[in-house]
């Protein structure tokens, strides 16, 4: 799994002119799923993201996590995170999981994230043409790949 985590002051997802997700301060999490992803990847990534100390403390030092701040989150599935640009100019998405594999993993990730932060998580809609708006706070953007746990 690959994740792009953005600390936001606000974020939203709109599908066909309907706002389906909208948060204030928190995280916008873009998730790319590949065929080889497992429950172990879900659990490791959820724990890592929920505990990332990327929010300011009383001294404005990045020392607090989403769990500490009780911030909100939007999770959006994004197969293009697995784009390969090695050959030519048209990206290949061969590593991205097919919907039959990706949807259950995505849903499990969202469910595990909700359990971990003990609150409802907003989402986009798998496979939809989404318009994602955000005000990146910092900017703070972190990229994590479960296949590279360094």
Mean pLDDT of 71-91: 92
Please, is 109 exposed, middle or buried when counting C-beta atoms within 10 Å of its C-beta (0-12, 13-18, 19+)?
Answer: buried
Residue 53 sits in a domain of what CATH number? 3.50.80.10
The pLDDT of residue 94 is 87
Range of the domain at 136: 2-145
User: Is 74 part of a structural domain of the chain?
Assistant: yes
**Closest to 109 in 3D by CA, of 37, 46, 49:** 46
Phi and psi of 120, rounded to 5°? Answer: -65, 140
**Cα distances (Å, whole numbers) of residue 105 to 23, 27, 99, 133:** 23, 20, 10, 24
The residue count of the chain comes to 150
Per-residue DSSP letters for 90-105? S-B-TTBPPHHHHHHH
The mean predicted confidence, pLDDT, of the chain is: 95
Instruction: For 138-148, write each residue's pLDDT tens digit.
Output: 999 999 999 98
The pLDDT of residue 149 is 79
Per-residue DSSP letters for 17-52? TEEEEEESSEEEEEEE-BTT--HHHHHHHHHHHHH-
State the CB neighbour count (10 A cutoff) for residue 92: 13
User: Is the predicted pLDDT of residue 74 greater than 90, yes or no?
Assistant: yes
The pLDDT of residue 21 is 98
Categorize the per-residue pLDDT at 88 as very low, low, confident or very high, splitting at 50, 70 and 90. Answer: confident
User: Is 150 part of a structural domain of the chain?
Assistant: no
The Cα–Cα gap between 82 and 63 comes to 30
The pLDDT of residue 150 is 66
User: Is 136 part of a structural domain of the chain?
Assistant: yes
The pLDDT of residue 140 is 97
User: Is 18 part of a structural domain of the chain?
Assistant: yes
How many domains are there within the chain? 1
Q: Which residues are catalytic?
A: 80
User: Is 56 part of a structural domain of the chain?
Assistant: yes
């Amino acid at each position: 799994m690959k994740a792009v985590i953005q600390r936001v002051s606000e974020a939203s997802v709109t599908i066909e002119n309907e706002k389906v997700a909208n948060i204030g301060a928190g995280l916008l999490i873009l998730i790319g799923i590949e065929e080889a992803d497992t429950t172990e990847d879900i659990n490791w990534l959820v724990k890592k993201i929920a505990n990332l100390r990327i929010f300011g403390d009383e001294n404005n030092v990045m020392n607090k996590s989403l769990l500490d701040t009780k911030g909100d989150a939007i999770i959006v599935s994004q197969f293009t995170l697995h784009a390969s640009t090695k050959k030519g100019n048209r990206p290949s998405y061969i590593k991205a999981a097919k919907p039959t594999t990706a949807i259950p993993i995505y849903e499990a990730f969202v469910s595990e994230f909700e359990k971990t932060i003990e609150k409802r998580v907003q989402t986009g809609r798998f496979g939809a043409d989404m318009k994602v708006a955000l005000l990146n706070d910092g900017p703070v953007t972190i990229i994590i790949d479960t296949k590279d746990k360094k």
